């Protein structure tokens, strides 16, 4: 169960896990609180049941609770696994109307938002066997803010299909040509234009770097409510030659190949899938030390972790990578990919979830 099937890390993770479990022979259904976006249509085509509770953003609708309880009774799932705040809370409340053997709630961020959300988690905790989060820091924060007792929470990392991001020289050459990157050192960042991503810090860092490397390029992939503000900042800082806003793209793996390094300037995170994809693409990474960044980046080895809100420090770390000999950058990228394949490959993560499901169900037999 998921709050929305739109574009985002949690939504992508639910999609990938549903595909994986379906391929392994599980009977899988996905419930979305809001309308089902086109990204989820292939699930239906593959035989996965996808239903919508027809809720609207910001509008409480008690009828959705009844619909979900009816779905529990009709589908009779062995495991209900919910993702994101609103889906977690609704799944718990529906269980009070229609019991299911096992309910798992997955949080996807170091900061789940307003304090009322943590209170609601705490109030409904009895309806869930287990709460998980996607990074060590996020687990610690959930306990610190009393969302869940320490004996009922565990770390369960996101996973990606690492084979999609193996080095591809042809894809690199083609994409760099189409974007007219030439020989410019090119940074890539992927994420929605929202407060958490702090694109303004990244633009400030690029402005600093440009003074020393005028040809530096930054590609920003994503959409979101703060895009107009970012465009105004680019205008004010005269960064048009350095920064390209690419919008939503379906060819992120090819864009990863085209880049020389990846950067993330977020104020808070869970475990960013884009960072995992960059690491699997053999890119050295500069990122703020938030959420799961430290789980992905070995500081000083596969990249650098920097404080939040310090564009000068971010720029310094980016320049360090840019000044490395090409062979050393490649070595950093190889180390990054090796770590990601060993810890975050989707099939390994799916194996871990299956073990959690089977262990929990065994207690109900």
- The separation between CA 264 and the C-alpha centre of its own chain, rounded to angstroms, equals 12
Does residue 9 register a pLDDT over 70? yes
| Residues 155, 174 share a domain | no
Q: Is residue 271 part of a domain?
A: yes
pTM to 2 decimal places? 0.87
What CATH number is given to the structural domain containing 201?
3.40.50.2000
CB-based contact 83:3 (threshold 8 Å): yes
Per the structure, the count of domains in the chain is 2
Q: What is the pLDDT of residue 365?
A: 59
| Residues 150, 201 share a domain | no
- For 146, the 3-state DSSP assignment is coil
* Residue burial 212-232, b: 16+ Cβ < 10 Å; e: rest: ebeebbbbbbbebebbeebee
Does residue 56 register a pLDDT over 90? no
Q: Is residue 88 part of a domain?
A: yes
Q: What is the pLDDT of residue 186?
A: 98
pLDDT per position as a tens digit, 197-240: 999 999 999 999 999 999 999 999 999 999 999 999 999 999 99
| Residues 352, 334 share a domain | no
CB-based contact 28:79 (threshold 8 Å): no
| Residues 238, 334 share a domain | yes
pLDDT per position as a tens digit, 149-176: 999 999 999 999 999 999 999 999 999 9
Q: What is the pLDDT of residue 44?
A: 86
| Residues 84, 135 share a domain | yes
CB-based contact 278:262 (threshold 8 Å): yes
Given its phi and psi angles, is residue 91 left (phi above 0), alpha (psi -120 to 50 degrees) or beta? alpha
Nearest 5 degrees, angle CA 259-CA 260-CA 263?
A: 80
| Residues 309, 174 share a domain | yes
| pLDDT higher at 59 or 18 | 18
| Residues 198, 152 share a domain | no
Q: What is the pLDDT of residue 313?
A: 97
Span 164-191, average pLDDT:
96
pLDDT per position as a tens digit, 279-319: 999 999 999 999 889 999 999 999 999 999 999 999 999 99
Does residue 245 register a pLDDT over 80? yes
Does residue 262 register a pLDDT over 70? yes
| pLDDT higher at 110 or 251 | 251
How far apart CA 329 and CA 302 sit, in angstroms, is: 9
| Residues 332, 262 share a domain | yes
| Listed residue (175, 195, 79, 208) closest to 132, CA to CA | 79
| Residues 338, 351 share a domain | no
Q: Is residue 283 part of a domain?
A: yes
Does residue 7 register a pLDDT over 80? no
Span 58-71, average pLDDT:
87
Q: What is the pLDDT of residue 107?
A: 96
| Listed residue (215, 186, 236, 206) closest to 312, CA to CA | 206
Q: What is the pLDDT of residue 57?
A: 83
| pLDDT higher at 108 or 38 | 108
* Average pLDDT over all residues of the chain: 94
Query: Which strands, in side-by-side order, build the sheet including 79-83?
Result: 79-83, 102-106, 130-133, 153-155
Q: Is residue 127 part of a domain?
A: yes
Q: Is residue 2 part of a domain?
A: no
Q: What is the pLDDT of residue 286?
A: 98
Q: What is the pLDDT of residue 209?
A: 98
Structural domain of 212: 162-344
| Residues 192, 136 share a domain | no
- Kindly state the percentage of the chain with pLDDT values over 90: 83
How far apart CA 74 and CA 80 sit, in angstroms, is: 13
Q: Is residue 4 part of a domain?
A: no
pLDDT per position as a tens digit, 95-127: 989 989 999 999 998 888 889 999 999 999 999
| Residues 329, 181 share a domain | yes
- The separation between CA 229 and the C-alpha centre of its own chain, rounded to angstroms, equals 23
Q: Is residue 1 part of a domain?
A: no
Q: Is residue 35 part of a domain?
A: yes
Span 317-328, average pLDDT:
97
| Residues 82, 41 share a domain | yes
Q: How confident is the model at residue 363 (pLDDT cuts 50, 70, 90)?
A: confident
Half-sphere exposure of 222 (CA within 13 A, CB side): 23
């Amino acid at each position: 169960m998921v709050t929305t099937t739109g574009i985002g890390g949690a939504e992508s993770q639910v999609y990938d896990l549903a595909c994986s479990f379906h391929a392994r022979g599980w009977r899988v259904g996905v419930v979305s609180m809001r309308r089902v976006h086109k990204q989820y249509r292939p699930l239906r085509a593959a035989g996965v049941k996808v239903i919508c509770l027809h809720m609207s953003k910001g509008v409480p609708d008690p009828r959705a609770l009844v619909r979900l309880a009816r779905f529990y009774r009709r589908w009779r799932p062995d495991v209900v696994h919910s993702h994101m705040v609103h889906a977690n809370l609704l799944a718990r409340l529906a269980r009070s109307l229609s019991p299911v053997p096992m309910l798992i709630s997955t949080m996807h961020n170091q900061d789940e938002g307003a304090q009322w959300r943590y209170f609601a988690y705490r109030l409904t905790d009895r309806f869930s066997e287990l709460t998980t989060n996607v990074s060590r820091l996020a687990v610690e924060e959930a306990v610190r803010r009393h969302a869940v007792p320490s004996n009922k929470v565990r770390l369960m990392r996101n996973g990606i299909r690492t084979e999609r991001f193996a080095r591809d020289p042809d894809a690199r050459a083609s994409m760099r040509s189409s974007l007219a990157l030439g020989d410019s050192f090119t940074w890539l960042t992927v994420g929605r234009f929202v407060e958490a991503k702090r694109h303004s810090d990244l633009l400030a860092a690029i402005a600093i770097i440009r003074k020393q490397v005028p040809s530096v390029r930054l590609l920003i992939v994503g959409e979101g409510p703060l895009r107009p503000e970012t465009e105004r900042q680019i205008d004010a800082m005269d960064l048009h030659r350095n920064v390209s806003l690419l919008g939503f793209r379906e060819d992120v793996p090819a864009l990863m190949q085209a880049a020389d390094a990846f950067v993330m300037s977020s104020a808070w995170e869970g475990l960013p899938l884009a960072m995992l994809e960059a690491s699997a693409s053999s890119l050295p990474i500069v990122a703020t030390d938030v959420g799961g960044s430290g789980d992905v980046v070995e500081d000083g080895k596969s990249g650098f972790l920097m404080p939040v809100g310090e564009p000068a420090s971010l720029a310094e770390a980016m320049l360090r990578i840019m000044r490395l000999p090409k062979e050393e950058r490649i070595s950093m990228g190889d180390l990054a990919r090796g770590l990601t394949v060993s810890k975050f490959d989707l099939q390994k993560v799916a194996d871990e979830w299956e073990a959690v499901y089977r262990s929990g169900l065994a207690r109900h037999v």
